[in-house]
Amino acid sequence: MSDEPIIKFDKVVKRFGDLTVLNELDFEVKKGEKVSIIGPSGSGKSTVLRILMTLEDINGGVVTVGGEPLWHEKGPDGSLAPASETHLRKMRTQLGMVFQQFNLFPHMTVLRNITEAPVQVLGLSKQEAKQRGEELLELVGLADQAQKYPHQLSGGQQQRVGIARALAMRPNILLFDEPTSALDPELVGEVLNVIGKLAEEHDLTMLLVTHEMRFAREVSDRVCFFDQGRIREEGAPEDLFTDPNEERTREFLQAVLDN
Ligand SMILES: Nc1ncnc2c1ncn2[C@@H]1O[C@H](COP(=O)(O)OP(=O)(O)OP(=O)(O)O)[C@@H](O)[C@H]1O
């Protein structure tokens, strides 16, 4: 891990109508760091990921990815103007996201789900993309499922394809938005195992929104507790989970761990 932040939110404001979801959020992630975001429903956790994926714009502040503003472009005089679609498209290639609902293309085979974007967006040849796709299926333990369609797979297998698909774009940063919350309990483990293996073996920067507290504790370098659009408390998992400073964090952990 380096000290340089690869993601930086500087007083970021996000509103939906009258609702302020991010309230001057300051947040940094270092290169290679594995960070979990936990917190109550509606506290803005998924919004942080969606802003990074350029699926939601921002109403104030600056988001920087890899040292460059995401939602802005620097003019010749150094001033910041709203980003063009070309800039957003370029910036987006640094990030991959694994969604709660998998979001696979239902009419494509597993392998094609993985090769489509590398061919269309990165310009890889079909052969190169296929080779990369097969390696990734191996990594997520699905080498024998390449020619199946998503509906022929279990939820856990579909989510592992979702992870392979995100990795196929070789992102520097991988975002996970509650990747196991749509799964039957018996399928959660296989997905967490794949994510855990990635965290251990790769120097990818990972940002994970999760309700799986035990997993967050195992896999993260740092855990951030979000509350009302800000980070209420953050720290090493062993500190935050065993001896939080804030009463609000304690209440939240008590409530989720009792469940
Ligand atoms: N497109 C939208 N339009 C209007 N309101 C939205 C939109 N997206 C999110 N919100 C609202 O913004 C708030 C924050 O949403 P967000 O999904 O970031 O929360 P969260 O912390 O991830 O919650 P959860 O754990 O329930 O997924 C919620 O109150 C949500 O209803």
Residue 181 near ligand 1, beta carbon < 6 Å: no
Residue 237 near ligand 1, beta carbon < 6 Å: no
Could you read off the pLDDT of 35-94 as tens digits, one per residue? 999 999 999 999 999 999 999 999 999 999 999 999 999 888 888 889 999 999 999 999
Question: Please, how many CA atoms are within 13 Å of residue 96, restricted to the half-sphere of its CB?
Answer: 20
Question: Please, how many CA atoms are within 13 Å of residue 92, restricted to the half-sphere of its CB?
Answer: 19
Nearest atom of ligand 1 to the alpha carbon of 48? 18
C-alpha to C-alpha distance for 8 and 28, rounded to whole angstroms: 4
Could you read off the pLDDT of 18-28 as tens digits, one per residue? 999 999 999 99
pTM over 0.90: yes
From first CA to last CA, the distance across the chain in angstroms is: 34
Which domains are assigned to the chain? 1-94+171-232 (3.40.50.300), 99-170 (no CATH)
Nearest atom of ligand 1 to the alpha carbon of 209? 22
pLDDT of residue 97: 95
Q: Which DSSP helix (H) or strand (E) runs through 220?
A: none
Query: Ligand 1 centre from 254 Cα, in Å?
Result: 23
Query: Ligand 1 centre from 19 Cα, in Å?
Result: 10
For 126, residues 6+ apart whose C-beta sits below 8 A from its C-beta are: 115, 119
Residue 18 near ligand 1, beta carbon < 6 Å: no
pLDDT of residue 116: 96
pLDDT of residue 1: 61
Name the band, by pLDDT with cuts 50, 70 and 90, for residue 13: very high
| Chain mean pLDDT for the chain | 93
Residue bearing the CA closest to ligand 1, atom 1? 16
**Percent of the chain's residues with pLDDT above 70:** 99
pLDDT of residue 206: 96
Residue 14 near ligand 1, beta carbon < 6 Å: no
Q: How far is C-alpha 180 from the geometric centre of its chain's CA atoms? A: 13
Residue bearing the CA closest to ligand 1, atom 7? 16
Could you read off the pLDDT of 136-150 as tens digits, one per residue? 999 999 999 999 999
Name the band, by pLDDT with cuts 50, 70 and 90, for residue 202: confident
Higher-confidence residue of 202 and 23: namely 23
pLDDT of residue 259: 67
Query: Ligand 1 centre from 47 Cα, in Å?
Result: 6
Residue 55 near ligand 1, beta carbon < 6 Å: no
Residue 82 near ligand 1, beta carbon < 6 Å: no
Query: Ligand 1 centre from 46 Cα, in Å?
Result: 7
Q: Are the C-beta atoms of residues 206 and 39 closer than 8 Å to each other?
A: no
Query: Ligand 1 centre from 179 Cα, in Å?
Result: 16
pLDDT of residue 2: 63
